[in-house]
Amino acid sequence: MDTFSISLPYDRSKSNFLGSDADLLSAALGLPDGTAAVANYMSQHRGSLFESIASLLNCDIPLTGVGRQRRYQLSCALLLATRLAEEELFERSPLKDPGSCYKYLQHHYLLQSREVFTCLFLDTQRQLLACRDMFFGTLNTAPVYPREIVAMALKMGASAIIVAHNHPSGCLAPSVADIQLTDRLRRALGLIDIDLLDHLIVAQGRYLSMASEGLAGFR
């Protein structure tokens, strides 16, 4: 019977790999002895693992030995991680703080090269009913229509919503338009007794919570 083994060091007491980011990325890409090449790529072109993977998936910077097939394999691996995080999100109860959503969102947005506006619909116990990507845009903007979010919330029978969108540019600060939209959406949902709990902005491995920052009418 064929067996599968991992050559990277593994610490069972901590349940995590002890290899470097370059070790793990080389292994995920299936590059034989590719750690040095990946490490050089990361040091020259990107300052973090998140940014390095995003650039590889978007093909904006070449890496020797990493063609379309290897990028596809990496995308599939990341999609599996996203779905695992989504399963955990559905099992978590209740969803009250921004950190409870962020693990899923950081995986989800890693595969995106444009802005995506996402809604997490919650029931009265703050458990997740559904997670939907509602609107898609460009590198730095996405059109959002509050009435469509209200309609979907009513269809889902949601009692509360957490919204989020990504900034592929890497800038974490909310724009004036982001704040104005959030305030308008919060007011629109309030008219039908649905709470807008937070608006998260995710950018290259970091996030900002408008509720935590007291922006857009959050208290």
pLDDT tens-digit series, residues 171-195: 888 989 999 999 999 999 999 999 9
Is the CA virtual torsion 55, 59, 65, 69 positive or negative? Answer: positive
Q: Say whether pLDDT at 11 is over 50.
A: no
Share of the chain above pLDDT 90, in %: 25
- What is the pLDDT averaged over residues 42-64? 68
The reported pLDDT for the residue numbered 47 is 59
If one compares 66 and 15, the residue with the highest pLDDT of the two is: 66
CATH of the domain spanning 81-213: 3.40.140.10
- What is the pLDDT averaged over residues 35-63? 70
Q: CA 39, 30, 3: angle at the middle one, nearest 5?
A: 130
- What is the pLDDT averaged over residues 119-126? 90
Distance CA 144, CA 18 (A): 42
Q: Quick check: 135 and 144 in contact, CB under 8 A?
A: yes
Domain boundaries defined on the chain: 10-66, 81-213
Mean pLDDT of the chain: 78
Distance CA 118, CA 12 (A): 36
C-alpha distance from residue 68 to each of 25, 32, 49, 58 (Å):
16, 17, 20, 11
- What is the pLDDT averaged over residues 27-47? 73
Hey, what's the torsion of the CAs at 28, 74, 84, 197, to 10 degrees?
120
